[in-house]
Structure 1
Amino acid sequence: MSSRISIARPQSNNYNSDPHGLSNSRSAASSGYRAANPDDPLERLQAFAKQVEDYVEIYSQPLKPHLPAIGRFLIVVTFLEDALRILTQWGDQLWYLQQHRKFPWGLSHLFLLINVVVMLGASSTIILKRYTEYAVAGLLAVVVIQGFGYGLIFDLNFFLRNLSVIGGLFMVFSDSMVTRKKLFAGLPSMSETDRRKYFLLTGRVLLIFLFLGFIIQGEWSIVRVFVSIIGLAACVMVAVGFKAKWSATFLVIVLSIFNVFANNWWSVHSKHPQRDFLKYDFFQTLSIVGGLILLVNMGPGGLSVDEKKKTY
């Protein structure tokens, strides 16, 4: 009403529509917008991050349809390699279990056979995207029983790496929930969307433990300190879901480069005992890279800063 009354008033040369000088000082604040300040470091960083996100989005377009398949394959590649290693080193595996772990004859054979069958079968079904929930459960069981069976459950490096592998398996399960129908229709339960949010959150948090293991182990250098600081920041961003696609892409690049130079098992003599350890670390790191690729493809999910920013 006040705007219509003011229009009806006769105008004079001395009339001032804003006698108190409030329009300039409050118009921007009342509208909710303000002019960008090009000299503000935070705004420059935000602009740079947005530009990087745009470039990642543009240049990843040709790969985008294939990212889920690449991610799933990389996640299970460590289980495929492990099954192949058991088959090719069957005698050595039996000797270790019987002599060092005190497995009785027969039980050691059964232990290895179950591991091989489950790893090959579950990995194949995950690649084919069939019966994913059962395949993920089988591989989770393999991770646990191998930790106890080989006596590595209290080894910090093994523990952190396998937490990350478990995170990758959670990402596979989350990916399968996009199209998976409800198993028990009609029963009161948590919705598929809500369950997927929690699985994505758990997978994001667990994926970063490999990089934490990299930070606390190994010899320190200036380059290592720099990479550790930047990588740790990216890990935190992945965990809380802030710029998750950008930070996950960064970790994929860093871990891939680190994996090639630090775990170059192909350059070690086939008889050298260190070769198997490097090979194991190499394929486990590939599995975690696969989990991060699925994160880049799916996004961080509902329980993330990125998703909350869309709401508020």
Structure 2
Amino acid sequence: MSSRISIARPQSNNYNSDPHGLSNSRSGASSGYRAANPDDPMEKLQAFSKQVEDYVEIYSQPLKPHLPAIGRFLIVVTFLEDALRILTQWGDQLWYLQQHRKFPWGLSHLFLLINVVAMLGGSSMVILKRYTEYAVAGLLSVVIIQGFGYGLIFDLNFFLRNLSVIGGLFMVFSDSMVTRKKLFAGLPSISETDRRKYFLLAGRVLLIFLFLGFILQGNWSIARVFVSIFGLAACVMVAVGFKAKWSASFLVIVLSIFNVFANNWWSVSSKHPQRDFLKYDFFQTLSIVGGLILLVNMGPGGLSVDEKKKTY
């Protein structure tokens, strides 16, 4: 701070009033530091974004130790809700599979049972952070077989939402990744660091598809246009890993507010058919929020603009 304050003092031959080159003057010899120009719009934007990042870092400190657990729980909450729904609507689920999907008797029972066991078991292991690779593989299998089993694989909304859920599962895998011994000596293998950054990249890119589905569907209004523009910009920033923590925090806030007001299933009568759809959307959105929370906690990883900026 003293280098920025003008104080009259005697100068000696060996004295340098600005030994670290922190002076804001653009005249004189180059000190190796680029001086800030307060009138430059880009530097104003950079200063503002840095200030926002600092606020995010400060206000997330009390929650930071708990963010991984919160993120993992939110990611699997849609699977827990789905398992509970199958158990409480067992007869209706069997009727739908047999009458509309033409499942033979017995196979429909086995299909539902496999789904329930995989979702409950996989979700529990993710929350407890045990055998995460197997848990993520099991939950990914559930996403795929449900898409085919219920005939929703070609539904655009279902497809985009489940891509985001898969992105959240990749974030879980990245968060829990541990070093494994080589299975076969002498064969080339990818290091843990490389695997982690590739999964983080895939998770970041897939997470944003839920918001793209939000942009493509629904009635347009002035508020929706503004939210869509800023949300899309934040999605691009998340995907490329530029100011990733800031943009992910913004999406967490936007999606949480949107989820409460748009998917308020608790305000719909239990006999109304729309209730189940709203409930499904609500818990799936929570899963994507969980993935973004893990991104805020871990950062974007090695394959990102933020990480590359550190090396240049």
Distance 1:250 1:28, change over 3 A: farther
CA distance in 1, matches of 2:243, 2:120: 35
Q: What's the offset of the Cα at 1:188? A: 2.9
Task: Evaluate the alpha carbon distance shift between residue 24 and residue 243 of structure 1 in structure 2; reply closer, same or farther with a 3 A threshold.
Answer: closer
The equivalences for 1:91-106 within 5 A come to: 91-106=91-106
RMSD of aligned Cα (Å): 6.1
Task: Report which stretch shifted further, 181-190 or 79-88.
Answer: 181-190
Identity, in percent, stands at 94
Q: CA deviation at 1:36?
A: 1.2
Q: After superposition, give the CA deviation of every residue in 1:84-138 in whole Å (9 maximum; x if it has no partner).
A: 0000000000000000000000000000000000000000000000000000000
CA contact (8 A) 1:28 1:34 kept: no
The Cα of 1:186 is off from its aligned counterpart by 6.7
Summarize deviations over 1:35-91 as a string: whole Å, max 9, x none. Answer: 211121111111111011111111111100000000000000000000000000000
Task: Tell me the SS of whatever aligns to 1:190.
Answer: coil
Structure 1 residues 159 and 36, CA gap change in structure 2 (3 angstroms) = same
Which blocks of at least 5 consecutive residues in structure 2 are unaligned?
A: none
Separation in 2, partners of 1:200, 1:241 = 10
CA separation of 1:61/1:106 partners in 2, compared to 1, >3 Å: closer, same or farther? same
Tell me: CA distance 1:89–1:35, structure 2 relative to 1, closer, same or farther (3 Å): same
Rounded to whole Å, the distance in 2 between the matches of 1:204 and 1:287 is 14
Aligned twin of 1:271: 271
The answer to whether the Cα contact below 8 Å between 1:73 and 1:127 also exists between their aligned partners in 2 is yes
Q: Deviations over 1:267-286 (max 9, x none)?
A: 00000000000000000000
Counterpart in the other structure of 2:185: 185
Q: Is the 8 A contact 2:21 2:33 kept in 1?
A: no
Question: Which of 54-63 and 156-165 deviates more?
Answer: 54-63
Aligned counterparts of 1:5 and 1:257: Cα–Cα separation in 2: 46
Q: TM-score, normalised by structure 2?
A: 0.90
Q: Indicate the SS of the match to 2:7.
A: helix
Which residue in the other structure is 1:132 paired with? 132
- After alignment, is 208-217 or 2-11 more displaced? 2-11
CA offset at residue 4 of structure 1?
A: 30
Partner Cα separation in structure 2 for residue 302 and residue 149 of structure 1 = 37
CA distance, structure 2, for counterparts of residue 173 and residue 21 of structure 1? 45
More helix by share: 1
In the alignment, the residues of structure 2 paired with residue 40 and residue 8 of structure 1 have an alpha-carbon distance, to the nearest angstrom, of 31
Asked if 2 retains the 8 angstrom alpha-carbon contact of 1:208 and 1:235, the reply is yes
What per-residue deviation string (whole Å, max 9, x for no partner) do you get for residues 245-266 of structure 1?
A: 0000000000000000000000
Shift, 1:183, TM fit: 6.4
C-alpha spacing 1:268/1:8, structure 2 compared with 1 (3 Å): closer
* Contact 1:79-1:119 within 8 A present in 2 as well: yes
Is 1:162 equivalent to 2:162 in the alignment? yes
SS for the counterpart of 1:151 is coil
Q: Could you tell me which residue of structure 2 aligns to residue 309 of structure 1?
A: 309
User: In the TM superposition, what whole-angstrom CA distance separates every residue of 1:15-46 from its partner, at most 9, and x where no partner exists?
Assistant: 99999999999976854433211121111111
Say whether the 8 Å CA contact 2:94–2:109 is kept in structure 1.
yes
Q: Secondary structure at the match of 2:185?
A: coil
Seen in structure 2, the aligned counterparts of structure 1 residues 287 and 31 have a Cα distance that, compared at 3 Å, is: same
Q: Deviations over 1:137-171 (max 9, x none)?
A: 00000000000000000000000000000000000
Is the Cα–Cα contact under 8 Å of residues 244 and 306 in structure 2 kept in the other structure? Answer: yes
CA contact (8 A) 2:24 2:36 kept: no
- C-alpha spacing 1:13/1:148, structure 2 compared with 1 (3 Å): closer
- Matched-pair contact (CA < 8 Å) for 2:179–2:192: no
CA apart distance, 1:177 = 1.1
- Paired with 1:22 and 1:30, the residues of 2 have a C-alpha distance of 11
Given that 2:167 and 2:291 are in contact with CA atoms closer than 8 Å, whether structure 1 keeps it comes out as yes
Cα distance in 2 for residues equivalent to 1:156 and 1:126: 28
Give me the whole-angstrom Cα distance separating, in 2, the residues matched to 1:89 and 1:2: 71
Q: Is contact 2:129-2:176 (8 Å) kept?
A: yes
> Which contiguous aligned blocks of 4+ residues in structure 1 show a shift greater than 6 angstroms?
1-29, 179-186
Task: Decide whether the 8 Å contact of 1:71 with 1:293 is kept in 2.
Answer: yes
Structure-2 change in CA distance of 1:32 and 1:95 (3 Å):
same
Preserved contact between residue 161 and residue 213 of structure 2 (Cα < 8 Å):
yes
Distance 1:181 1:276, change over 3 A: farther
> For residues 198-256 of structure 1, what are the alpha-carbon distances to aligned partners after superposition, in whole Å with 9 as ceiling and x for unaligned?
00000000000000000010000000000000000000000000000000000000000
Aligned length: 312
State the alpha-carbon separation in 1 of the partners of residues 66 and 305 from structure 2.
27
Greater CA drift, 48-57 or 3-12: 3-12
Equivalent position of 2:74 in the other structure:
74
How far apart in 2 are the matches of 1:211 and 1:20?
46
Q: 1:216 to 1:196 in 2, by over 3 A?
A: same
Contiguous gaps of at least 5 residues in structure 1: none
Report the structure number with the largest CA radius of gyration.
Answer: 1
